[in-house]
Structure 1
Amino acid sequence: MNKLFFIIQSITNPKKVGAIFPSSGFLGDRMVEGVNFQKAKVIVEYGPGTGVFTEKLLINRNPQTKVMLVENNKEFYLLLKEKFKREKNLFIVHGSAENIGKYLKEYHLPNPDYVISGLPFTSLPKEISQGILLNTCKILSKDGQFITFQYTKLKKAFIEQFFTKVEVKRELRNLPPAYILSCSVDKQMEEYDGIKSTYCG
């Protein structure tokens, strides 16, 4: 049912969804394998869609860990609200990841340890992608990580402008195969790749 719902949304909102099929469980496992669930106090997910990655986060998290989902598609947002209505310490927001700082303040949440993203940066307008990535590196905790996936490496150099370290893995058991990018910021650096650390520190 979720797969059919996802396909319908991908056809009606191709630029926002960015894929024809939902992510596989294999990709979900790879996206969260680097998360320290015992120490993480706050985890944010951008563009959870039907909740493939969300389920992995909720199953593995410490019960006290707070999870925030930011979904811009209203149909997916309503689906997530119903699907996870019994979950505690879960906050589901209908809005844009560009406003993540605002949402964290509204729910009185500290800087997240991890931001997991299913957003299609290849199809998003450049200015929106810039806003999302810039605000993400600002709100990450000191040793926080931004973990995203893309179907090509076309946006790797673009993403590297905002993060000092980007590690790439590949998951072939997804349709289509995907690259997982694990990104972090050295907030002690004064300047890198033309972007001042004062923006992200």
Structure 2
Amino acid sequence: MKNFSFLTQFFANPKTIGAILPSSSFLGDKMIEKIDFNVANYIVEYGPGTGVFTEKLLEKRNLNTVILLVENNITFCSLLKERYKGIDNVHIKHGSAENIAQYLKEYNIPYVDYVISGLPFSSLPSKISYEILLNTSKSIKDNGMFITFQYTKLKKAFIQQFFAKLEMTKEYRNWPPAYVFSCSVSKKHMEELDDVKNTNCR
């Protein structure tokens, strides 16, 4: 039933779903392997879909760690709200990741330690991708991380410009095989990015 629901949503929203099947458990393990759950107070997930990565986060997190799920697909959002209702410190927001700063204020989240993302940047409009990545990098605390997977390396350079460092691995036990980009945040890098943005706006 889960795969049928995912398949239905893919055909209805191919540009925002980005895959014909949910991510594998193997990819889920790789997506969270760099998270230090001993120190993570706030974790955000973009595009949780049917909750493959969410389940991994809930298995590993401390009970006082706040998890915010941002899902743009109303069907998936409804499924997630039903599945995780009553679980402490789990918030589910129907909306777009580009508005992350607004959502953090809404849920009184002062900063983010880790953001993991299932968003298909290769099919999202460039302007939206830019706003998502810029606002995300500003929301993550110094030395935090943004972790995303993509099916191609097409957007690697585009994603990397918003972060101080990007490490890439590949998970073959997923269909299709996926690249995992682990991006480190540095406030010094963010200041440099702001300088470039301000210069371009003049």
TM range (shorter): over 0.9
1:186 Cα deviation after fit: 1.9
Matched, 1:14 2:2: no
Whose helix fraction is larger, Structure 1's or Structure 2's? Answer: 2
In 2, Cα distance between equivalents of 1:123 and 1:39: 34
Tell me by how many angstroms 1:196 deviates.
Answer: 5.5
Q: Following the alignment from structure 1 to structure 2, what is the Cα–Cα distance between the partners of residues 138 and 173?
A: 33
Q: How many residues align?
A: 197
Sequence identity (%): 61
Residue in 1 that maps onto 2:75: 75
Give unmatched runs, 5+ long, in structure 1: none
Q: Write the distance in 2 (CA, Å) between the matches of 1:181 and 1:144.
A: 14
Aligned residues: CA RMSD:
1.5
Partners of 2:86 and 2:193 lie apart in 1 by 43
Q: Give the superposition deviation at 1:191.
A: 2.3
Whole-Å separation in 1 of the counterparts to 2:195 and 2:2 = 42
Partner of 1:184: 184
Unaligned runs of 5+ in 2: none
Q: Which moved more, 1:188-197 or 1:30-39?
A: 188-197
Query: Which SS does the other structure have where 1:68 is aligned?
Result: strand
- In the aligned structure 2, how far is the partner of 1:59 from the partner of 1:170? 23
1:2 aligned partner, one-letter code: K
Quick one: distance in 2 between partners of 1:177 and 1:63? 32
Describe the superposition over 1:34-90 as per-residue Cα deviations: whole angstroms up to 9, x where unpaired.
100111000000000000000000111000000000000000000000011131100
Map 1:45-64 onto structure 2 (within 5 A).
45-64=45-64
* 3-state SS of 2:34 partner: coil
**Helix, strand or coil for the counterpart of 1:82?**
helix
Amino acid paired to 2:108: H
Q: Which residue of 1 aligns with 2:91?
A: 91
2:188 partner letter: Q
- Residues 146, 185 of structure 2: 8 Å contact kept: no
Moved more, 136-145 or 187-196: 187-196
1:83 aligned partner, one-letter code: R
Residue 50 of structure 2 aligns to a residue in which SS? coil
CA distance in 1, matches of 2:76, 2:124: 18
TM-score, normalised with respect to structure 1: 0.94
Instruction: Tell me, yes or no, if the aligned pair for 2:6 and 2:21 is still in contact at 8 Å.
Output: yes
CA contact 2:116–2:146 (8 Å) conserved in 1: yes
In 1: Cα distance, 2:165 partner to 2:136 partner: 14
